[in-house]
Amino acid sequence: MDTNICLEPIQPYYPVADGRGITAGSKPVPDQRRNMLRMALVPVIVVGLAVLLLGPQADAGPESVATVSHVVKAGETLWSIASAHTAPGDDVRHTVALIRSANGMPSGTVRAGVTITIPVGEIPGWGGR
């Protein structure tokens, strides 16, 4: 049995027109690196510009909604707060939904001492009914 076996991997050799060869796994030359970097960055820049130009715009213009702040007192519920801010004849459930939406509340639970925002009037484009 022969114990002088070479276990190093053999790199393939790719000849090129000018007589020099390139082995697999060799590093790209600086111009190739720049071109690869450009090719990688161009889509990122294009997407970034598209998001900036076409993304949603924050606008507190004429469609902004008036709000009032309310500090929750011990014993108050979201329903009791909403019913105090609901116009006669309107649905209290709608006011509860507006308050939850305005405050990002996952449930209707409120804690004493927490300040919540209550929208006054109708929110344009809000389809919570």
Maximum separation of any 2 CA atoms in the chain, in Å? 100
Specify the pLDDT at position 52. 80
Task: Go through the domains of the chain in sequence order and give each one's CATH number.
Answer: 66-120 (3.10.350.10)
Count how many Cα atoms sit within 13 Å of the Cα of residue 91 in the half-sphere of its side chain. Answer: 7
Whole-angstrom Cα distance, residue 70 to residue 77?
A: 12
- Could you report the per-residue pLDDT of 86-127, keeping only the tens digit for each? 888 888 898 898 899 889 888 888 999 999 998 886 665 555
Which tokens sit at 1?
């049995």
Specify the pLDDT at position 129. 46
Measure the CA dihedral 72/75/80/85, to 10°: -30
Sign of the Cα torsion 37, 38, 43, 44 reads positive
Which tokens sit at 39?
């090719």
